[in-house]
Amino acid sequence: MYRTHTCGCLRAGNVNETVILAGWVQKVRNLGAMTFIDLRDRYGLTQVVVEEHSPAEVRETAATLGREYVVQVTGRVVERSSKNPKMPTGDIEVAAERIVVLNEAQTPPFTIEEVSDGGDDLRMKYRYLDLRRPPLQRNMILRHKMAQEIRRFLDAEGFLEIETPYLVGSTPEGARDFVVPSRMNPNQFYALPQSPQTLKQLLMVAGYDRYFQIVRCFRDEDLRADRQPEFTQIDCEMSFVEQEDVLEIFERWAKHMFREVMGIEFAEPLRRMPWIEAMEKYGSDKPDLRFGMEFADLTDLARGHGFSVFDDAQYVVGFAAPGCACYTRKQIDALTDYVKRPQVGAKGLVWIRMEADGSVKSSVDKFYTPDEVRAMAVRCGAGAGDLVLVLCGPKFKALAQLCALRLEVAQQLGLRDPKRFAPLWIVDFPMFEWDDETQRFYAMHHPFTSPKPEDVQYLESDPGRVRANAYDFVCNGTEIGGGSIRIHDAALQARIFKALGFTPERAQEQFGFLMNAFKFGAPPHGGLAFGFDRLCSLFGGAESIRDYIAFPKNNAGRDVMLDAPSAIDRSQLDELRLSLVKPE
């Protein structure tokens, strides 16, 4: 028997028991008469003590121990004279009677403790050492617990967990595919699934009614912000459902997760916000509702007063930053610099101060009377002491820029508290998104999403007006999940492909398998997928999904620990009949 207990479980009640522990040496403190060894495993930390009267071999072995040695310690649990209330095991220590070195360790490249001195790159290279640290272990445990709760809930609701293949043809979700060459089919390639979208729809055709899978998805995107080339979705699909049915069950699921994992109860139904409202009030289809600062359309008030910037703008929009009228010139300049950064892209920022004495002051006083300025501020909901911030431009551009500013101000005001959660549904998405560059419509969700029946009439005449039976689950300014009711009718699917610019031949070539399947009795169906990594980071209160993935890639899509991707042998290339072109 390697151990009788873990390093996290001994308490005052175990005093006088003889125990065997096994784990890693986190720290050795040699105080002359006494040596303290902090022994760690994933359950916790226990202090082991070696004293002058300990057996000679124990003292000798203790003297040789280095950080991260793997040891087995047999000893008696004793009450500590100076207790450590910060440690769960802080009431006791183990007086060593025997220490066996199970394995030595090189000095690790960084400290393996709650807080490490290692930089990002180094910790990624030695990820297995970083994973030994308590914060990452807590993250992995959280992830595990969440996966169990997901399965428990969905199983109880009659969902079947069915695996779908990773070597598939392309399933378009708007990103680039990762491809895998086929040796047995020379010059042909598999694609790794961007999601099991079409496969789960085929499972509905096959009668599997309620499906789920915690599944890896692969998207070859530039890794802006917090993305990983492979990530995990909680992928679900249901038959004989309407949007309301899907929202009902997954709202219950979300509440179940908050309750069981976080101990947070959401008694009220979650808010449902139409897409256009989210855009106009928050400038985003994933609004952060932990705080207010709603936008107001100021276009009619702002235009026609000789201020050409506003006169020439399609849209003028602002919000009130609570209590910020006291911002200094310097602070306001910093906000102006913020909106002018290329990532935000605004040309300038107009501000209005609602002073405590009831007067107003603004950066556009030259063009407006105090009453006109006040009217704009009041429309933004500003009261005395608030600062109104205003941007203008093409409508959706100005909204997106103001959204960035709203989040920045909220950050400065400490309103983005990771311990608070403001989940909601976004509904009534537009079906299509126009792309200026390529001069065509794209599916806002994906091409299998059904239009709202009442909008189908505009499919050909006014595609921009068609709304989709699509929905997103959003929390704290992040999209956590999304899905749609699907098209289950081959003729309607063909019309959508046409609206998206597919010729019938190309649609047949790419999606023939699905359209054919729909000819054999496809039930009405719909579903959604949640980003599991992101849900973990949301619950864990962390910014990055990387911290919740055991072996993530870095920003360049590399696994620096495995040194992948990497070159392969000539013989492997030959077998695959591939020849390489040297990059420029």
Interface region with ligand ASP, contact rule CB under 6 A, candidates 250-258, 267-275, 400-408, 525-533: 525-533
What is the footprint of ligand ASP within residues 504-523 (CB under 6 A)? none
Cα–Cα nearest to 233, from 561, 528, 569, 449 = 528
State the CB neighbour count (10 A cutoff) for residue 149. 16
Give the nearest distance from C-beta 19 to ligand ASP in angstroms: 49
* Half-sphere exposure for 222 (CA within 13 Å, toward CB): 1
**SS3 assignment, position 34:** strand
Q: Where does this chain touch ligand ASP (CB under 6 A) — which range of 403-411, 433-441, 453-461, 524-532?
A: 524-532
- In Å, how far from its chain's centre is CA 129? 24
- Give me the amino acid identity at 389: L
| Secondary structure letter of residue 442 according to DSSP | E
Query: What x-and-dash track marks residues 344-383 binding ligand ASP by CB under 6 A?
Result: ----------------------------------------
Looking at 26, 35, 197, 243, which residue binds ligand ASP (CB under 6 A)?
A: 197
Q: CB of 151: closest distance to ligand ASP in angstroms?
A: 18
Across the strands, what pairs with 217? 231
Please compute, for residue 421, the number of CA atoms within 13 A of its CA located in the half-sphere on the CB side.
24
Name, in order, each residue with C-beta under 8 angstroms of 537's C-beta and a sequence gap of 6 or more.
226, 543, 544, 545, 547, 548
What is the chain's Cα-based Rg? 30
How far CA 53 is from CA of 27, 57, 96, in Å, comes to 21, 11, 10
- Residue placing its CB nearer to ligand ASP in the complex, 139 or 197: 197
Rounded least distance, CB 529 to ligand ASP, Å: 4
Reported as type and span, the H/E element at residue 507 is helix 504-517
528 binds ligand ASP (CB under 6 A): yes
- 3-state secondary structure labels for all residues of 83-137: CCCCCCCCCEEEEEEEEEEEECCCCCCCCCCCCCCCCHHHHHHCHHHHCCCHHHH
Which residue, 327 or 429, is less far from ligand ASP as judged by CB?
Answer: 429
Q: How far is the CB of 422 from ligand ASP (least distance, A)?
A: 22
463 binds ligand ASP, rule: CB under 6 A = no
Give the other-Cβ count within 10 Å of 271's Cβ: 13
Binding ligand ASP (rule: CB under 6 A), the pick from 173, 433, 479, 559 is 173
Q: For ligand ASP, which residue of 398, 485, 529, 545 counts as binding (CB under 6 A)?
A: 529
Per CB under 6 A, does 215 bind ligand ASP?
no
Q: Please say whether the beta carbons of 347 and 310 come within 8 A.
A: no
CB of 237 to ligand ASP, least distance (A): 7
For residue 304 the two structure tokens come to: 């026609």
Choose between 322 and 527: whose C-beta lies nearer to ligand ASP. 527
Shortest distance in whole angstroms from residue 531 CB to ligand ASP: 9
Across-strand partners of 218?
A: 230
Helix (H, G, I), strand (E, B) or coil at 166: coil
Q: From residue 466 to residue 485, what is the string marking binding to ligand ASP with x (rule CB under 6 A)?
A: ----------------xxx-
Q: Of the candidates 46, 47, 164, 195, which one interacts with ligand ASP according to CB under 6 A?
A: 195
Task: Please report how close the Cβ of residue 528 comes to ligand ASP at its closest, in angstroms.
Answer: 5
- Binding of ligand ASP at residue 229 (CB under 6 A)? no
Nearer to ligand ASP, 173 or 489 (CB): 173
Smallest distance from the beta carbon of 454 to ligand ASP, in angstroms?
21
Query: Least distance (Å) from ligand ASP to the CB of residue 481?
Result: 8
Q: 78 by DSSP, 3-state: which?
A: strand
Q: Which is nearer to ligand ASP, 483 or 552 (CB)?
A: 483
Decide whether 351 or 473 has the Cβ nearer to ligand ASP. Answer: 473
Pure H helices in 442-503: 490-499
- Sites of contact with ligand ASP (CB under 6 A): 173, 195, 197, 482-484, 527-529
